[in-house]
Amino acid sequence: MTLGRREFIQGSSLLATLAALSCSRSSGGGATLVDKSADPLVLRGLHRFGFGHRPGDVDRVSAQGILEHLEEQLHPEAIDDSRTEQLVAALSTYSLPLAELRKQPYTLVQYELGLATFLRAQLSSRQLHEAMVEFWSDHFYVTVTKNPFINYLKVVDDRDVIRPRALGRFKDLVKAVVKSTAMLSFLDNIQNEKGNPNENYARELMELHTLGVTAGYSQVDVEELARALTGWGMHLDGERIGEFRYDDSLHDYGEKRVFGLDLPGSDGEDEVSRLIDHLCEQPATAHFLATKLSRRFVADDPPAGLVAEVGRTYLATGGNVKSMLRAIFRSREFAAAPKKLKRPFKYAVSVLRALGCDEQVTEAALQALPGLGQPLYFWPMPNGYPDVAEAWLPGLLNRWNFCLELLDGGHERVNDAVRALLGGSRSRGAALDALSSGILGTSLERGVRNALFDHVGAGGFDDPLTEERWREVAALLLSHPDFQWS
């Protein structure tokens, strides 16, 4: 099976052929099969704890032990990540205080927020922390598309609100978010004042952030919570524009009752802290959050028994995120989890990680995200990007095109990465085993392996055509179902 480049690219016919072959049990004789499969639990852990493996990770974590790796990841403060932080610090806008940040072009601020996010996901050694930052960024979602100014506020939200609390207590995160001017602006609470309440944030605080839509709260609860949030906004002019402001002249000091909690009306700003404690202590919140975490890390349709156990852990530990993650990742359900389709952002990051690419390739992958269907922070609704395969299946062909373009020979760093994965092998079979185990973490089924073996051809490793075909094989492996579903 030898295809020219033109036929290889057009219509992804080889992809279809190999997808069919991957379901077969062909025993074709083109190449000797070598089993280099890694422990499936190690692979699952590397792809669920974070954004996939880099070269050497599978061997390192196999030797370390997956549970030991989990504990290491649960303590990111002990992991040296100085190189990644230096790259982020070198960006011209991301680290600026808000007063300086808002003097920059909002398009540059928006771009560097996305670049900082991608760099960390791609290169950080604190992979579980980055996975949880992504989770909370969806849970407490703020889109940068609402207005230009919200781009500045979202940087502060990412940097100062979500990241420091991603592995802490849930209620501490909620209390920080309720003062995030990105959230208050996005959900219109800056317009919420005594005598003229705006219910948008109050509704989403219960429906999307804590209790969940089926918890049994009423419209009256929404209205009463909105009254408690009156006066919570931001400075709209002067040197402190964009910073949080509680304006007691706009606060409704009347008595309130929210989801069974009576508030005397005299506590002012402290009312909201009491309300958050109350909402975060509810079994409905435990169940809602346990469901979302289990869906993200285990299965689109999370097992009921696991959800119940994670919910119990939430209530027993006061919403300790690390404890909930331990309950998930140490569970039988995680060990037996079905494959889960990567969302486009995770897919693009995992491609660069599998290849071992450095920061010089990051920008090209970041710019591909709109075509893949997930430009960062552009989802228009407050529920965050979807977390189930059904939402992303129509865009799978775009992933194939992304890999072909990334590996078309124009990125020398990518070319170097493919050469490194081939491992200096001097035979097609050994090189193919090295490439497939490096990208997939597992050996190929014989029929697929033989088709790829034939596609590379018999040219020497210094032959330009042969090198081009190795890059095509790498692109195909990165589009393989075993890589997209992890």
Whether 82 shows a pLDDT value over 70: the answer reads yes
What is the predicted pLDDT for the residue at 27?
36
pLDDT digits (tens, 9 = 90+) for 343-372: 999 999 999 999 999 999 999 999 999 999
**Encoding tokens for residue 177?**
């978010």
Q: What is the dihedral of CA 293, 125, 375, 481, to 10 degrees?
A: -70
What is the predicted pLDDT for the residue at 119?
98
Do 194 and 230 form a contact (C-beta atoms < 8 A)?
yes
Do 366 and 170 form a contact (C-beta atoms < 8 A)?
no
What is the predicted pLDDT for the residue at 202?
98
Mean pLDDT over each residue of the chain, to the nearest integer: 92
Q: Pairing state of beta strands 256-258 and 261-263?
A: antiparallel
Mean pLDDT for 313-324 is 98
CA distance 26 to 453: 14
CA 343 to chain centre: 8
What is the predicted pLDDT for the residue at 442?
85
Mean pLDDT for 79-96 is 98
Mean pLDDT for 137-164 is 98
What is the predicted pLDDT for the residue at 11?
38
Closest among 138, 177, 401 to 289, alpha carbons compared:
138
Helices 396-406, 344-355: inter-axial angle, 10-degree rounding: 30
CA angle 372, 376, 379 (to 5 degrees): 90
What is the predicted pLDDT for the residue at 447?
86
What is the predicted pLDDT for the residue at 20?
45
Name the helix (H) or strand (E) containing 245. strand 244-246
The position carrying tokens 């978010």 is 177
CA-to-CA separations, 256 to 178, 228, 268, 282, in angstroms, rounded: 19, 8, 11, 19
What is the predicted pLDDT for the residue at 31?
52
Provide the H-helix boundaries in 319-395. Answer: 321-329, 332-335, 344-355, 362-372
CA distance 473 to 471: 5
Mean pLDDT for 259-283 is 94
pLDDT digits (tens, 9 = 90+) for 31-70: 554 566 678 999 999 999 999 999 999 999 999 999 999 9
pLDDT digits (tens, 9 = 90+) for 7-41: 444 434 455 545 544 444 333 344 554 566 678 99
**Encoding tokens for residue 191?**
């317009």
What is the predicted pLDDT for the residue at 443?
83
Helices 362-372, 396-406: inter-axial angle, 10-degree rounding: 160
Contacts of 285 (CB under 8 A, 6+ apart): 170, 210, 211, 212, 215, 279, 314, 319
CA distance 34 to 443: 7
* DSSP, residue by residue, 61-90: HHHH-HHHHHHHHT-GGGS--HHHHHHHHT
The more confident residue out of 28 and 309 is 309
CA distance 179 to 288: 22
Q: What is the pTM of this model?
A: 0.93
Name the helix (H) or strand (E) containing 256. strand 256-258
What is the predicted pLDDT for the residue at 454?
87
CA distance 227 to 405: 53
What is the predicted pLDDT for the residue at 35?
61
403, burial (CB in 10 Å: exposed 0-12, middle 13-18, buried 19+): buried
**Encoding tokens for residue 256?**
């309130």
What is the predicted pLDDT for the residue at 352?
98
Mean pLDDT for 133-160 is 98
pLDDT digits (tens, 9 = 90+) for 200-235: 999 999 999 999 999 999 999 999 999 999 999 999
Mean pLDDT for 469-473 is 92
Q: What are phi and psi of 383, to 5 degrees?
A: -90, 0
pLDDT digits (tens, 9 = 90+) for 390-442: 999 999 999 999 999 999 988 999 999 999 999 887 788 889 999 999 999 98
